[in-house]
Structure 1
């Protein structure tokens, strides 16, 4: 029945269902967040997080149901890793649209632990979002610019120390920490402005990726990669995703083998290590860009035949 509805109507209905389900589930989520705030015992707080994650997963499944039966958005997910919802993982992915978020949580559901993102410390003060991300143990970062470090050398290394402390909590709970290596959404305009050598992606920021890998090193059970392809459009958007207007969304989730020599190092102070890490990440990005480009071309051929 939903298939016959105009795309805009499907998008409005999908947004309403997702918003209403969020409000309903938040009423169950909130007591866990308040309890965690009031009781500083570490074990109790971990139990609160486990309780709140039940509501988060329920919302994820609502979004997936909405995509399938209201938006009628075709999404193909290929997963070639064994499920492990109790581990600790770093996920590296490409980033083209806000639609990447529902695609990512769809791919991870029942396969890997609920995802968290490194977010700026200023987000703590954003109403609702700051409290929810604190309650769910999202890692906060306070990054210092090169100019700030030059003015105050004592700040050098604090980024890494702060992140390591934030990640200590993951020794006692499962998590998938997400790193979008490009640092921002890749659009045709941004690729042109930054003279990206890739057709579908921006140049990856090797420093940020190495920083996260090194900071989380001994906590990790593995590193995984999620590459998302939007076929039939160069401008995928979350609204088009909600309306079911994107001809095909294809996500591939697999384990990423990182050379042992790159798992430990000092990107900022070891030029040799930095060069090797950049070369490895650029080679990976070139291969993935070629795969995504080919997949988009194949989808276009199927559409025209």
Structure 2
């Protein structure tokens, strides 16, 4: 609708609309979050949670309208049909290319799955409005310590474990779609080179948080949505989020593979070495397949 406008003007329009959407939605979420902490009644806390989730869904819907109004997007969604399981919990595991992935996942699954919650880097909590709103919504924040930091202070690992287990408890308690970007960082060719990735289009998967998740709730979730995202005309060295602001996102390819209940069984990921190895190998096999799928997506473009 507005994609014909010049890129500099679209950047201003998109930043303005997205910022207004964030401020308008995040402000009441933060205020309600304060009331939720102060009020003792569980019924009131649950009512506030419902209100916040409703506001969050409005934010998702508004973002979908904005990006489609300012970009002429060809959405190509392939793979398994997405069932309507809004009243059940699930896990969405995905590759990670850009901040824009969050909007894409919410757009693809909107109205089909429960309210989405993302494992987020702890540093994102300091983003004005967005960070505190996500905290009020109960998003799990992980610090993602380096190997060197963990070797120096092993107790640091406990903080991420506690956050992951807390998120898992909420999944069992209330219908939730728990989103995990398994690579732990956005893919770029340079990052992949430094990480010595064996994949052509992906970072190596980090199985810690996803393995702990399956270990805690593998038998309680309805299914796992193995999601592959690609922006064939707007990938590295271009940045999809910036391309979206400029109105230049033309194609979004998403492949959905549904892994049935029990595909990742429960177990003790921290103490059972056999279980940990099994989950890690399952994820790596999926990543190998995902890498091949991306190559096929790009060749068929």
TM-score, normalised to structure 1's length?
Answer: 0.84
Residues 74 and 244, structure 1, Cα contact 8 Å, conserved in 2 = no
Q: 1:258 to 1:274 in 2, by over 3 A?
A: farther
Residue 21 (1) aligns with residue 24 (2): no
Equivalent in the alignment of 1:255: 258
Distance 1:3 1:149 in 2: 47
Structure 2: gaps of 5 or more residues: none
The structural deviation recorded for 1:154 is 8.1
Superposed counterparts of 1:32-43, under 5 Å: 32-43=32-43
Equivalent in the alignment of 1:56: 56
Residue 212 (1) aligns with residue 213 (2): yes
The alignment's C-alpha RMSD in Å is: 3.0
Higher-Rg structure is 1
Q: 1:34 to 1:274 in 2, by over 3 A?
A: closer
Q: 1:288 to 1:51 in 2, by over 3 A?
A: same
Q: Secondary structure at the match of 2:218?
A: helix
Q: Secondary structure at the match of 2:87?
A: coil
Distance 2:5 2:159 in 1: 54
Q: 1:4 to 1:282 in 2, by over 3 A?
A: same
Q: 1:189 to 1:212 in 2, by over 3 A?
A: same
Equivalent in the alignment of 2:225: 224
Q: 1:88 to 1:190 in 2, by over 3 A?
A: same
Residues 217 and 266, structure 2, Cα contact 8 Å, conserved in 1 = no
The structural deviation recorded for 1:294 is 0.9
Residue 296 (1) aligns with residue 298 (2): yes
Equivalent in the alignment of 1:75: 75
Deviates most, 128-137 or 118-127: 118-127
The structural deviation recorded for 1:225 is 1.7
Distance 2:174 2:103 in 1: 23
Residue 7 (1) aligns with residue 10 (2): no
Q: Secondary structure at the match of 1:2?
A: coil
Equivalent in the alignment of 1:303: none
Please give the per-residue CA displacement for 1:84-142, whole angstroms capped at 9, x wherever unaligned: 11211111100011111111111121111221123456766765444322321223457
Superposed counterparts of 1:65-214, under 5 Å: 65-78=65-78, 80-119=81-120, 128-141=129-142, 160=161, 163-214=164-215
Residue 239 (1) aligns with residue 257 (2): no
Q: 1:13 to 1:265 in 2, by over 3 A?
A: same
The structural deviation recorded for 1:151 is 7.9
The structural deviation recorded for 1:202 is 1.0
Distance 1:226 1:218 in 2: 20
Distance 1:148 1:14 in 2: 39
Q: 1:135 to 1:62 in 2, by over 3 A?
A: same
TM-score, normalised to structure 2's length?
Answer: 0.85
The structural deviation recorded for 1:150 is 7.4
Deviating beyond 6 angstroms after TM superposition, the runs of 4 or more aligned structure 1 residues are 142-158
What is the number of equivalent residue pairs in this alignment?
Answer: 298
Q: 1:125 to 1:243 in 2, by over 3 A?
A: closer
The structural deviation recorded for 1:40 is 2.8
Distance 1:162 1:59 in 2: 25
Residues 225 and 256, structure 1, Cα contact 8 Å, conserved in 2 = yes
Please give the per-residue CA displacement for 1:272-301, whole angstroms capped at 9, x wherever unaligned: 3233222222211111111111111111xx
Q: 1:41 to 1:166 in 2, by over 3 A?
A: farther
Q: 1:206 to 1:170 in 2, by over 3 A?
A: closer
Please give the per-residue CA displacement for 1:241-264, whole angstroms capped at 9, x wherever unaligned: 23232331111234224765x422
